[in-house]
């Protein structure tokens, strides 16, 4: 008899699960939130600007939620007291946190290393938000998931850090951003190692060029609706000769949080259109 003749089929259904997403009011973060909402999850999104995060939650509830609901929790993801407040409010609303998407981040100033614009203040700000903030939030959520394990029989959880292809290649003018995302990958591996026996997987996603509401002015010509020269030059750096979409990040993140990826931890998924394999 074949060992695998009788198999369970992995499910993408998120009904009854709770996902917490930082930086969830716009761009990739909102796209990820919409995907989870559409597959039945309860969604808690957090971001700094009150009006933006509340508007995003309303949008999720009106247009995307299928069985679950969305809540907005305004907060600064770099502050420990805000982080704990977000966790407490999420648990108060939904009972537990099953999935955490650590997406909040900034790009900082673009400046080459020997220029006056590449200063310690900018470096500290980017590292503080992208790496220190990621560490603090991952740590706090991991503690909550371990606490939940005490009552639910090591049900575990999933933590997914949004890193970047910038953490793998050294692009000009983005030394702080690249360093923060490279650090995020190392952080992911260490967390994965320590959390494995708690049935908590920790992985990362590394998007390449993605068009979002935050950068569309750079990539899309407002007058013609066509692509700008910046878009065309960026697309030439990918094997597929185009930039990615929010949906092309949200889908893989949803899959990683599903049962399909229960055996993967301590690694990253590269979503770069072939930017790192040569042009």
**Best CA proximity match to 157, nearest among 140, 180, 134:** 140
Average pLDDT over residues 119-133: 93
The second-level CATH assignment, the architecture, of 18-209+245-271 is 3-Layer(aba) Sandwich (3.40)
Block residue for tokens 């790009």: 107
* Cα atoms found within 13 Å of the Cα of residue 241, Cβ hemisphere only: 0
Q: What is the pLDDT of residues 165-187, one digit of tens each?
A: 999 998 888 999 999 999 999 99
Alpha-carbon span 77 to 103, nearest angstrom: 10
Catalytic residue numbers read 177
Give this prediction's pTM. 0.94
For residue 4, is pLDDT > 70? no
Residue extents of the structural domains in the chain:
18-209+245-271
For residue 1, is pLDDT > 60? no
| Residue 76 confidence (pLDDT) | 92
Q: Residue 159: CB partners within 8 Å, gap ≥ 6?
A: 99, 100, 102, 138, 141, 142, 145, 191, 195, 200, 201, 202, 203
Q: Residues of the chain with pLDDT > 70: what percent?
A: 98
């Amino acid at each position: 008899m074949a060992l695998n003749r009788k198999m369970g089929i992995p499910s993408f259904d998120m009904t009854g699960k709770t996902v917490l997403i930082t930086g969830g009011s716009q761009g990739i973060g909102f796209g990820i939130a919409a995907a989870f909402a559409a597959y039945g999850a309860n969604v808690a999104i957090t971001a700094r600007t009150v009006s933006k995060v509340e508007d995003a939650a309303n949008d999720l509830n009106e247009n995307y939620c299928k069985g679950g609901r969305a809540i907005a929790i305004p907060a600064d993801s770099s502050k420990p007291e805000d982080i704990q407040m977000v966790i407490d409010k999420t648990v108060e609303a939904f009972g537990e946190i099953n999935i955490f998407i650590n997406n909040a981040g900034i790009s900082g100033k673009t400046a080459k290393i020997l220029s006056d614009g590449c200063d310690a203040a900018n470096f500290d700000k980017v590292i503080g938000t992208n790496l220190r903030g990621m560490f603090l939030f991952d740590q706090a959520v991991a503690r909550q998931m371990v606490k939940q394990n005490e009552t639910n029989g090591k049900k575990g959880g999933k933590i997914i850090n949004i890193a970047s292809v910038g953490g793998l290649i050294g692009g000009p003018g983005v030394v702080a951003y690249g360093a923060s995302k490279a650090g995020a990958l190392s952080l992911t591996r260490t967390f994965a190692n320590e959390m494995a026996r708690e049935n908590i997987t920790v992985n990362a996603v590394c998007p390449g060029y993605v068009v979002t509401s935050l950068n569309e002015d750079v990539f899309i010509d407002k007058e013609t609706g066509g692509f700008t020269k910046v878009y065309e030059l960026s697309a030439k750096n990918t094997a597929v000769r185009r930039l990615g979409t929010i949906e092309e990040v949200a889908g893989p993140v949803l899959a990683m949080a599903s049962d399909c990826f229960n055996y993967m931890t301590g690694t990253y998924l590269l979503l770069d259109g072939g930017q790192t394999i040569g042009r």
